[in-house]
Amino acid sequence: MYSYEQEIVERDENTVHMNVGPSHPSMHGTLRIKMEVKGERIVKTEQEIGFLHTGFEKLGEHRSYNQFITLTDRLNYFSPLSNNIGFALACEELLGITVPRRCQVIRTILAEMSRLADHSLCLGAMTMDLGAFSSILWTFVEREKLYDVFEAVTGTRLTTSYTRVGGLAFDLPADFVKRVTAILDSMENTIDNLRKSFYQNRIFLDRVEGIGCISREMAMSYGITGPMGRASGLDYDLRKFRPYLIYNELKFDVPVYKDGDTLSRYKVRIDEMEQSIKLVRQAMKLLEPGPINFQDQKRTLPDKTSTYGDMESLIHHFKLVMPGEDHGIHPPVTDQYSATEAPNGELGWHIVSDGSSNPYRVRIRGCSFINYPILSRLLDGAMLADLVAILGSFNIIAGELDR
Amino acid sequence: MITYNPENHLKVIAQVEARMGERLLGREEKSHYHQFKVKGQDAKDLIRFLREEPSLAFAMFIDLTAVDYLRYPIAQPERFAVVYTLLSPELGVKAQVKAFVPDGDPRLPSITDLFAGANWTEREVWDLYGIEFMGHPDLKRILMPDDYEGHPLRKDYPLKGRGERGNFPVYHASTQRPKGEG
């Protein structure tokens, strides 16, 4: 039987054992850290995870490819669309199909919009943890506006499940471009406000400058990607490494900082938001009418209206959706690692297919799971107050961490 | 900026084939990387070579996971495979090492001394597959509870579990907790 007293067996005279989390406001969900502190100095830490373990990988082996998309919503629940798009792209790479142009443009726009939503919440929450309350209200307002658009596009705010293998669930609403343009303008204003309030702010800078430094070598050894890696000088971005969707047609920069401290991680996210706004603006100009689904009804779900309207589509829908030996999508018998640049880094999918309608194995390389372990190393010898600053800049999402 | 350079694949293949010789069980070309198949005991040697050979320099850890081939339609050398994915920032290519581990004695050397990122991922594979990594500094469960029995991602482990869900101790607000707990 679990007992907290049993964990503290060897107690050093001069140190105090402290427990933070799993339900602590600054622990972002369900993280737990056991610490040994000497005064305000942290001597030793141990991270404990697994409180939100849901068994997505085991469940995935018993779900069809399209059913698994609903589970991907629950991974990084700050940016569910990124996960939907990543998994759909991984399946399409396995099947060897390329989605139509309009679908690629829509996916690019939505991936960048979810990056904006994810980063804005991370920036707001991080500064709130450090005592600045107004900024989370500013960023939350922006995120709400984005979520309103996600709701208009996908029908839900959080559990979007918008993509399908080989396309999308449905097309964009009519006023999409107008609504998004209005949001981007106010978003730019908010980014400007964030810069003005924090870049010269002594109270903020004292808490983050030179705190929690990750070197480029450390980042490579731990496999840290995304904004955290780029804050440490690791210039690795999958949108540039091997451009997917329409990223090779768009002009954007990838911000890279050298210091690797908490402030750099904050700055990288702000700069990335600016680039995402640029990307969405460019991609919206490329929106042209056209089909949104790959035209092969043996592998892609037919349009909902034609499923209800004509016999052939209904048969194909039935064959793809209903359980059965020869039903569903049948990828070749092989395995494949594919990855996309999610807001937190490289979101990888190692899919092993046995030729049946369910994946044989889905490995989710969650960015949070790979980015999180370095925390204990950064906390060795740090001050207790640094914990919230460093952890806030990591943007650890428990859904993706524990899977 | 690190960019993908498909021309460097040939360099990697030549170097790996020269180094491993007979010990390389096979090689497979994937969409944007090559997969090298080896036996479990050779995996660390190959990964160390990939990392430390100056002309390859696979210095970045990407992923470590495992697959249970118990019910796979195509026969595999062994039941389990541990899959390592690495990136070479200098060459701009990824490489994957697939190490086969037998059912009866699922053990292979740990690579935590080469890549710090392998620490948690190896614990995860131990937790979910029961594959032991020799030389790991702290090999214990990470996602499942400490007192959990079995390894849930194995193919012979049922989806609904073995009744663990009902066996967790449950405290209600009205019950008095035993002294010294919680």
Structure tokens at B130: 């029961």
| CB distance A399 to A347 below 8 Å | no
* CA–CA min distance B8, chain A (Å): 14
Asked if A236 and B2 come within 8 Å (Cβ–Cβ), the reply is: yes
Write down the pLDDT at residue A2: 46
* DSSP one-letter code for B178: P
Positive or negative: CA dihedral A32, A26, A389, A217: positive
Positive or negative: CA dihedral A85, A88, A91, A92: negative
Judge whether B89 is closer than 8 Å to chain A, CB to CB.
yes
Write down the pLDDT at residue B147: 81
Average pLDDT, stretch B52-80?
A: 91
Asked if A370 and B121 come within 8 Å (Cβ–Cβ), the reply is: yes
Residue of A nearest to B154 (CA): A58
Q: Which of A216, A220, A362 to mutate to test the interface with B (most CBs of B within 10 A)?
A: A220
Task: Compute the distance between CA of residue B11 and CA of residue B2 in angstroms, rounded to an integer.
Answer: 18
Sequence-distant (≥ 6) Cβ neighbours of residue A374 within 8 angstroms: A214, A218, A222, A224, B116
Write down the pLDDT at residue B179: 58
Sheet holding A16-20, edge to edge: A16-20, A32-38, A41-48
Judge whether B148 is closer than 8 Å to chain A, CB to CB.
no
Structure tokens at B54: 């100056």
From the number of C-beta atoms within 10 Å of its C-beta (0-12, 13-18, 19+), residue B77 rates as: middle
Write down the pLDDT at residue A12: 58
Asked if B61 and A4 come within 8 Å (Cβ–Cβ), the reply is: no
Asked if B4 and A5 come within 8 Å (Cβ–Cβ), the reply is: no
CA atoms within 13 A on the CB side of A224: 28
Q: What is the band of B21 on the pLDDT scale with cuts at 50, 70, 90? A: confident
Write down the pLDDT at residue A109: 94
Task: Compute the distance between CA of residue A234 and CA of residue A197 in angstroms, rounded to an integer.
Answer: 27
Q: What ipTM does the predicted assembly reach?
A: 0.88
Sequence-distant (≥ 6) Cβ neighbours of residue A95 within 8 angstroms: A165, A166, A299, A329, A331, A332
- B31, B68, B120 ranked by CB distance to A93: nearest: B31
Q: What is the band of A179 on the pLDDT scale with cuts at 50, 70, 90? A: very high
Judge whether B85 is closer than 8 Å to chain A, CB to CB.
yes
Beta bridge partners, B61, equal B86
Average pLDDT, stretch B153-167?
A: 82
CA atoms within 13 A on the CB side of A141: 12
**What are the angstrom distances between the C-alpha of A177 and each of A82, A331, A356?**
19, 35, 40
Residue of A nearest to B97 (CA): A337
Structure tokens at A398: 């428990």
Judge whether A355 is closer than 8 Å to chain B, CB to CB.
yes
Express each pLDDT in A38-70 by its tens digit: 888 888 888 989 888 888 999 999 988 989 999
Q: What is the mean pLDDT of chain A?
A: 88
Asked if B159 and A59 come within 8 Å (Cβ–Cβ), the reply is: yes
- The enclosing H or E element of B97 equals strand B93-101
Task: Compute the distance between CA of residue B13 and CA of residue B32 in angstroms, rounded to an integer.
Answer: 14
Where residue B21 falls (left for φ over 0; alpha for ψ -120 to 50; beta otherwise) is left
Write down the pLDDT at residue A1: 42
Average pLDDT, stretch A118-136?
A: 89
* CA–CA min distance B30, chain A (Å): 7
**What are the angstrom distances between the C-alpha of B107 and each of A63, A130, A152, B120?**
30, 45, 51, 17
Q: Cis omega before residue A22 (within 30°)?
A: yes
Q: How many CB atoms lie within 10 A of CB A173?
A: 11
Beta bridge partners, B86, equal B61, B95
Express each pLDDT in A21-37 by its tens digit: 787 777 777 888 888 88
Q: What is the band of A117 on the pLDDT scale with cuts at 50, 70, 90? A: very high
User: pTM to 2 decimals?
Assistant: 0.90
Q: Which fold has domain A68-296+373-402?
A: Cytochrome-c3 Hydrogenase; chain B (1.10.645)
Judge whether A270 is closer than 8 Å to chain B, CB to CB.
no
Size of interface A-B (CB pairs under 8 A): 129
* CA–CA min distance B1, chain A (Å): 5
Express each pLDDT in A205-219 by its tens digit: 988 888 889 999 999
Average pLDDT, stretch A108-133?
A: 91
Phi, psi angle pair for A391, to nearest 5°: -65, -40
**For residue A13, is pLDDT > 80?**
no
Longest dimension (CA), chain B: 69
Q: Which of A49, A217, A335 to mutate to test the interface with B (most CBs of B within 10 A)?
A: A335
Second-level CATH architecture of B12-157: 2-Layer Sandwich (3.30)
Express each pLDDT in B122-139 by its tens digit: 999 999 999 999 999 989
* CA–CA min distance B110, chain A (Å): 14
| Domain boundaries, given as residue ranges, for chain B | 12-157
Write down the pLDDT at residue B181: 54
Neighboring chain B residues of A217 at a CB cutoff of 8 Å: 59
- A4, A217, A220 ranked by CB distance to B182: nearest: A4
- A53, A223, A337 ranked by CB distance to B61: nearest: A223
Q: How many CB atoms lie within 10 A of CB A364?
A: 25
| Domain boundaries, given as residue ranges, for chain A | 68-296+373-402
